[in-house]
């Protein structure tokens, strides 16, 4: 630490972060949300809802995460569709044919995520908006209208039902509306992120039914897929209670009956559901909390972790670009609401590890594992090689849906996804997961990368014949670089290194040797004269760019780390200075979130804080949704558009976690990258590598206590926050450095009396 600390006597174990989130961490509106993307978001990983409008009417936009149009892309089953043919056409500069085969199919309406409709609430009397609140502590939206009318909306944390409670307004009307799918095909379909009309999908009108106090619709989708929504109500003396549900044909042949049964059942047990709903959210927040002196950063962290809790479940599809909040504007969602694996899905799950939400994060890994056969089929069919790779843009079944060919057909997408399997093992120490999921995924990816890099460069090293760096040079011919990029090289090197590491852990000596040999055959990362990471050999990052793909080796992969010595420290600082020098003109919101983690790895708390502050003040809408472009008018970026995607939100939360706790080297370090101005900081139950839960408090600029719990019984290795010494807590060095109290697998660390630290 850089400030002088002198502590004497007994220290309090009180931590500000012991408290659960409060009202200030939620949303408070005095002006109603006039658009769906500024709404109050609710969700449970399967169902999502957005509550918005001024009350005449009030809208509840509906979503369900498995609602997809999964029509295939015929070009990707044609004779010309192969890695060999792609390389040939690139050599022959047949760019129009390449774009027609690989890029243009993405501009069709489908495959795509689709919305589920909305509920419109109107009142017999004239009403106007008074205030609105979103309680992140319990996932409840509350709208107050003049005259004492209150509308509460919530989605049960675990069951596929939503509840609407209206007080002070008997006779309210609740209208269940299907999305506007009907109509003739619209040829003005997607261009960039601007998507076409829902009617371009060409679905028939929905089948609607009303029976007593319930209404339903069933919507036929592509081929045999369909979904249905049901809304049931019960009037009271002072208002209305209603329940809704959405079911898809994945659940059974009659989704309408399934949805109606769930909604009717929920209406009969609202109070029971309320108790279990609130219990789930309390448990979610007990998994990890933070307190920092910047109110904007602290609030954004809670909003983002709330959104993660609303979007991620193990038994649900993983988080798409918009998660359970598909656009409700009559159009297809931005970028089809799909799975982008060149950044978006990966960043979305960063906070589940240090943020101690491993169970929610398993929804992503389960989905990858369950759909790996489709990815393997694509790997063998397109590349003609063994092992496993993953399409960069994919649908609900992990099938290729196209786009810019340099990234949608990248050879290293499966490797970045492998990083998440590895992280889950590191943070959980789940041996069964290691044996049955982590190692098999890494090994399959390593087998593919060994095959695809079998050609050699002029120095005799393995190389990748077609190598890119998302999203440098967009989809121009120059997006393929003449030599392997640092993005691809870092991911390949990481895969070989970690597959060897896991093979050694599992006592597989021949596999360990194989992957270590493959690693030795890879070229080194490309650096400039200052030590900064290049895009590729001879190709520096020439201008401001949103995607820090060239810096993957620093974060998240950690191949280049300060702990490795002065050379790596020089590379990290030079790369960070390059990003600062080139400026933020062409950054999006997620760039600032990601920068916070890179700066935190460099120990640069001031830069990390500034990046998070800029994100929270300029790149989110008022409900906290990351909207890509700068909404502040202060010129942080030339991008000023507002398509909503979630990865920037979740990378923000992970970036703050990285400032508060680091353990990627195997050593637990508390407050490793906080700015000098932060004197009152605390966190509770964040997770460290090795399956340790860590809590720490700083008061008046001095660390007062650190509490570490081991889930496995292993002894933690710690950097003493007072002396800077490192070692296991059962060693003599640590015993001399600080006061250590152990109760079972829980250690409480405090400064020794009369200790002076700098």
What CATH number is given to the structural domain containing 434? 1.50.10.10
Contact 216, 228 (CB under 8 A): yes
* Length reported for the chain: 758
Shared domain check, 567 and 457: yes
Q: What is the largest CA-CA distance in the chain?
A: 83
* Region 434-443 average pLDDT: 98
Shared domain check, 56 and 10: no
Residue 125: its pLDDT value, please?
86
Q: Mind listing the pLDDT tens digit for each residue in 379-425?
A: 999 999 999 999 999 999 999 999 999 999 999 999 999 999 999 99
* Region 172-181 average pLDDT: 95
User: Looking at the 3D structure of the chain, how many domains does it have?
Assistant: 3
| Residue 469 domain flag | yes
The count of C-alpha atoms lying within 13 angstroms of the C-alpha of 478, restricted to the half-sphere facing its C-beta, is: 6
Q: How far apart are CA 243 and CA 233, in angstroms?
A: 6
* Region 603-624 average pLDDT: 98
Contact 465, 473 (CB under 8 A): no
pLDDT band per the 50, 70, 90 thresholds, residue 754:
low
Residue 382: its pLDDT value, please?
98
Shared domain check, 361 and 282: no
Measured from the Cβ of residue 670, the count of other Cβ atoms closer than 10 Å reads: 28
Q: What Rg do the C-alpha atoms of the chain give, in angstroms?
A: 26
Q: How far apart are CA 376 and CA 575, in angstroms?
A: 35
Which DSSP string corresponds to 627-687? Answer: -SS--SSS-S-S-------SHHHHHHHHHHHHHHEE-TTSSBEESTT--TT--SEEEEEEE
pLDDT band per the 50, 70, 90 thresholds, residue 2:
very low
pLDDT over threshold 70, residue 549: yes
Q: Mind listing the pLDDT tens digit for each residue in 329-379?
A: 999 999 999 999 999 999 999 999 999 999 999 999 999 999 999 999 999
pLDDT over threshold 50, residue 185: no
Tokens standing for residue 218:
């069933």
Shared domain check, 365 and 257: no
Give percent of the chain with pLDDT exceeding 70.
Answer: 95
pLDDT band per the 50, 70, 90 thresholds, residue 12:
very low
pLDDT band per the 50, 70, 90 thresholds, residue 101:
very high
Contact 154, 50 (CB under 8 A): no
Q: How far apart are CA 629 and CA 638, in angstroms?
A: 8
Q: How far apart are CA 625 and CA 739, in angstroms?
A: 44
pLDDT over threshold 60, residue 90: yes
Residue 429: its pLDDT value, please?
98
Q: How far apart are CA 204 and CA 199, in angstroms?
A: 9
Report the CATH number at residue 233. 2.70.98.50
Shared domain check, 158 and 240: yes
Q: How far apart are CA 312 and CA 46, in angstroms?
A: 8
State which residues form the domain around 685.
Answer: 5-18+670-757
| Residue 696 domain flag | yes
Tokens standing for residue 398:
């992990």
Strand, helix or coil at 699? Answer: strand
Report the CATH number at residue 678. 2.60.40
| Residue 86 domain flag | no
Q: How far apart are CA 704 and CA 5, in angstroms?
A: 10
Last residue of a domain, one of 539, 560, 583: 583
| Residue 625 domain flag | no
Closest CA to 387 of 435, 467, 449: 449
pLDDT band per the 50, 70, 90 thresholds, residue 651:
very high
Closest CA to 421 of 507, 362, 508: 362
Shared domain check, 66 and 159: yes
| Residue 650 domain flag | no
| Residue 531 domain flag | yes
Shared domain check, 64 and 9: no
Q: Mind listing the pLDDT tens digit for each residue in 216-258?
A: 999 999 999 999 999 999 999 999 999 999 999 999 999 999 9
Which secondary-structure segment (H or E) carries 6? Answer: strand 5-7
pLDDT over threshold 70, residue 756: no
| Residue 114 domain flag | yes
Give percent of the chain with pLDDT exceeding 90.
Answer: 93
**E strands within 190-225?**
207-211, 214-220
| Residue 291 domain flag | no
Q: How far apart are CA 621 and CA 219, in angstroms?
A: 32
Which DSSP string corresponds to 253-318? Answer: S-HHHHHHHHHHHHHT-HHHHHHHHHHHHHHHHHT-EEE-S-HHHHHHHHHHHHHHHHH--TTS--
Residue 196: its pLDDT value, please?
87
Shared domain check, 380 and 237: no
Contact 66, 317 (CB under 8 A): yes
Residue 758: its pLDDT value, please?
43
Instruction: Look at strands 746-750 and 739-743 and give their pairing.
Output: antiparallel
pLDDT over threshold 70, residue 6: no
Contact 333, 340 (CB under 8 A): no
Residue 15: its pLDDT value, please?
53
Last residue of a domain, one of 556, 583, 610: 583
Spacing of C-alpha 123 from chain mean position: 38
Strand, helix or coil at 197? Answer: strand
Instruction: Look at strands 68-69 and 214-220 and give their pairing.
Output: unpaired
Which DSSP string corresponds to 384-446? Answer: --SS----SEE-TTS-B---SHHHHT-SSHHHHHHHHHHHHHHHH--HHHIIIIIHHHHHHHH
Q: Apex CA 536: angle with CA 534 and CA 539, to 5°? A: 70
Last residue of a domain, one of 286, 304, 330: 286
Shared domain check, 281 and 365: no
pLDDT over threshold 60, residue 676: yes
pLDDT band per the 50, 70, 90 thresholds, residue 187:
very low
Shared domain check, 375 and 229: no
Shared domain check, 428 and 542: yes
Shared domain check, 523 and 421: yes
The pTM assigned to this predicted structure is 0.96
The CA distances from residue 82 to 381, 400, 457, 632, in Å, are: 7, 13, 23, 45
């Amino acid at each position: 630490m850089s400030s002088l600390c002198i502590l004497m006597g007994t220290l309090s174990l009180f931590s500000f972060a012991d408290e659960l989130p409060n009202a200030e961490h939620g949303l408070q509106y005095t002006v109603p949300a006039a658009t769906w993307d500024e709404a109050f978001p609710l969700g449970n990983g399967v169902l999502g809802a957005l509550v918005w409008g001024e009350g005449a009417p009030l809208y509840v936009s509906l979503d369900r995460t498995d609602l997809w149009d999964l029509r295939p892309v015929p070009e990707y089953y044609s004779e010309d569709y192969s890695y060999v043919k792609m390389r040939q056409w690139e050599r022959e500069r047949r760019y129009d044919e390449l774009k027609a085969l690989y890029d243009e199919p993405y501009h069709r309406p489908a495959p795509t995520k689709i919305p589920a409709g909305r509920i419109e609430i109107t009142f017999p009397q004239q009403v106007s908006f008074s205030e609105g609140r979103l309680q992140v502590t319990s996932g409840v939206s509350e709208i107050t209208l003049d005259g004492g009318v209150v509308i509460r909306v919530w989605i049960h944390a675990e069951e596929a039902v939503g509840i609407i409670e209206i007080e002070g307004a008997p006779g309210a009307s609740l209208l269940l509306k299907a999305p506007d799918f009907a109509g003739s095909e619209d040829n003005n379909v997607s261009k960039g992120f601007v998507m076409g009309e829902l009617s371009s999908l060409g679905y028939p009108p929905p089948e609607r039914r009303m029976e007593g106090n319930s209404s339903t619709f069933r919507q036929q989708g592509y081929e045999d897929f369909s979904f249905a929504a049901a809304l049931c109500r019960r009037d009271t003396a002072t208002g209305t209670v209603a329940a809704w549900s959405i079911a898809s044909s994945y659940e059974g042949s009659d989704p309408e009956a399934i949805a109606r049964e769930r909604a009717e059942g929920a209406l009969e047990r609202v109070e029971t559901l309320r108790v279990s709903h609130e219990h789930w959210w309390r448990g979610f927040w007990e998994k990890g909390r933070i307190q920092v002196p910047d109110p904007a950063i602290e609030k954004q962290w809670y909003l983002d972790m709330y959104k993660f809790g609303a979007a991620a479940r193990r038994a649900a599809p993983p988080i798409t670009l918009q998660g359970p909040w598909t656009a409700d504007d009559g159009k297809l969602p931005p970028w089809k609401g799909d799975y982008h694996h060149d950044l978006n899905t990966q960043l979305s799950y960063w906070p589940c590890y240090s943020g101690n939400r491993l169970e929610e994060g398993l929804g992503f890994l389960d989905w990858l594992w369950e759909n790996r056969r489709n990815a393997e089929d694509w790997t063998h069919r397109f590349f003609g090689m063994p092992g496993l790779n993953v399409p960069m843009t994919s649908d609900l079944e992990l099938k290729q849906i196209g786009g810019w060919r340099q990234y949608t057909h990248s050879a290293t997408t499966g490797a970045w996804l492998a990083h998440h399997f590895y992280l889950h093992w590191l943070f959980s120490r789940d041996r069964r997961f290691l044996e049955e999921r982590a190692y098999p995924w890494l090994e399959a990816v390593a087998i593919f990368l060994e095959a695809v890099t079998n050609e050699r460069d002029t120095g005799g090293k393995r190389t990748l014949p077609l190598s890119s760096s998302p999203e440098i040079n967009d989809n121009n011919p120059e997006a393929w670089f003449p030599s392997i990029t640092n993005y691809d090289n870092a991911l390949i090197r990481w895969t070989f290194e970690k597959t060897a590491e896991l093979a050694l852990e599992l006592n597989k000596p021949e596999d360990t040797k194989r992957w270590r040999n493959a690693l030795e055959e890879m070229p080194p990362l490309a650096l400039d004269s200052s030590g900064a990471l290049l895009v590729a050999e001879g190709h520096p990052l020439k201008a401001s760019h949103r995607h820090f793909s060239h810096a993957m080796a620093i974060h998240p992969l950690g191949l280049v780390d300060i702990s490795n010595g002065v050379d790596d420290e020089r590379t990290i600082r030079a790369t960070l200075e390059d990003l600062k020098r080139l400026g933020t003109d062409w950054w999006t919101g997620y760039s600032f979130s990601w920068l916070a983690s890179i700066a935190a790895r460099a120990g640069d708390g001031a830069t990390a804080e500034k990046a998070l502050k800029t994100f929270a003040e300029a790149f989110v809408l008022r409900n906290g949704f990351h909207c890509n472009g700068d909404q502040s008018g202060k010129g942080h970026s030339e991008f000023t558009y507002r398509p909503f995607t979630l990865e920037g939100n979740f990378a923000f939360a992970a970036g703050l976690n990285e400032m508060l706790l680091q353990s990627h080297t195997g050593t637990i370090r508390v407050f490793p990258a906080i700015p000098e101005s932060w004197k009152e900081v605390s966190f509770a139950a964040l997770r460290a590598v090795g399956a340790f839960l860590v809590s720490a408090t700083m008061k008046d600029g001095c660390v007062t206590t650190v509490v570490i719990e081991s889930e496995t019984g292993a002894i933690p290795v710690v950097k003493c926050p007072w002396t800077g010494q490192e070692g296991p807590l059962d060693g003599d060095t640590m015993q001399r450095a600080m006061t250590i109290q152990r109760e079972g697998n829980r250690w409480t660390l405090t400064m020794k009396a009369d200790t002076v630290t700098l």
